[in-house]
């Protein structure tokens, strides 16, 4: 299993926080300071210039930014070597259902795990959200294609099929 981390700034609604559910289940380690994020982690950042692909394997850990979309621009992450953005996927969470790229933190971590070939771990963490398995159903085809891609360029070509 790949160790999972989340930087949480407490800007999101605590009643809807998927990371809090994962933390209670012992599936993620929550960090409250950006400086505590491991330097060798693969940082999921929607602002990253490179798309996540199976070529990013092996990874020592994966870290999600668990914050409100409104404050994302204020989080300083430019110093991480391995920042990756997720390709086109649809949200299954109740707040952003059906909206592209507006994934909750648990969806983002699960998507990354699927792309990196860790589908069982993805299913496990999605069990913490009542709608979690719906995310895999909604994105079954693109996740399978992304997991078979060779690199970020191929991910972008596959993504183009959905745009």
Sheet holding 4-8, edge to edge: 29-31, 4-8, 62-66, 42-44, 83-84
Q: Which domain holds residue 81?
A: 4-160
Bridge partners for 42 per DSSP: 62
The 3-state DSSP class for residue 137 equals helix
What pLDDT, in 10s, does the model give residues 42-72?
999 888 889 999 999 999 999 998 866 555 5
- Per-residue CA distances from 43 to 54, 58, 97, 129, 145 (Å): 15, 14, 24, 22, 22
Question: What is the pLDDT tens value at each position of the chain, 163 positions in all?
Answer: 999 999 887 666 666 678 888 888 999 999 988 888 888 899 998 888 899 999 999 999 999 988 665 555 565 556 667 889 999 999 999 988 999 988 999 999 999 999 999 999 999 999 999 999 999 999 999 999 999 999 999 999 999 999 8
What's the domain count of the chain? 1
Paired tokens of 50: 């490179």
Q: What is the pLDDT of residue 138?
A: 96
């Amino acid at each position: 299993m790949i160790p999972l981390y989340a930087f949480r700034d407490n800007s999101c609604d605590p009643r809807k926080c998927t990371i809090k559910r994962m933390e209670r289940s012992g599936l993620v380690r929550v960090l409250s300071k950006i400086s505590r994020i491991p330097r060798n982690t693969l940082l999921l950042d929607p602002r990253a210039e490179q798309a996540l692909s199976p070529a990013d394997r092996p990874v020592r850990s994966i870290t999600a930014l668990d914050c409100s979309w409104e404050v994302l621009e204020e989080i300083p992450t430019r110093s991480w070597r391995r920042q990756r953005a997720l390709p086109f996927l649809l949200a299954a969470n109740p707040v952003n259902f059906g909206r592209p790229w507006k994934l909750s933190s648990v969806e983002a971590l699960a998507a990354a795990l699927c792309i990196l070939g860790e589908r069982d771990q993805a299913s496990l963490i999605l069990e913490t959200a009542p709608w979690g398995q719906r995310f895999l159903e909604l994105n079954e085809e693109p996740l399978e294609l992304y997991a078979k891609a060779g690199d970020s360029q191929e991910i972008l070509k596959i993504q183009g099929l959905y745009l």
